[in-house]
Amino acid sequence: MQLEFDAAIWFWRGPAPWHFVTVPPEQCEAISEIAGAVTYGWGMVPAVVTIGRTEWSTSLWPKDDGYIVPIKTAVRRAERLELDDVVVVQLTVGESAPSPRW
């Protein structure tokens, strides 16, 4: 399943601080329809993410009846992204990339 959306980057200051974007509700509904078939546990859903020219494998994290996408530091540096930047996110849900490109 391939999806595309715009979202703002936000920061979570928890015990392991990380940057994320939130998947919009409409796309979350589509992901939820196949999540049971592709999850590897705890509701985590494998995906290939593309922002700009950077592509990587990750997992969508379940949060508040939806999903969030973790944005690696290497991706933010490669794409020169900052907190609150709005980015175009392309997701291929249920797959893994062979290796990251940055």
Is residue 95 a contact partner of residue 2, using CB atoms and an 8 Å limit?
A: no
Virtual torsion, Cα 76, 79, 81, 26, nearest 10 deg: -90
pLDDT in tens, 27-49: 999 999 999 898 887 889 999 99
Within a 10 A sphere around the Cβ of 66, how many other Cβ atoms? 17
pTM over 0.85: yes
Tell which residue, 54, 96, 60, has the closest CA to residue 76: 54
pLDDT in tens, 69-98: 999 999 999 999 999 999 999 999 987 644
Q: Where are the domains of the chain?
A: 2-14+22-93
Largest CA distance in the chain: 35
Classify domain 2-14+22-93 at the CATH superfamily level: AF2212/PG0164-like (2.40.30.100)
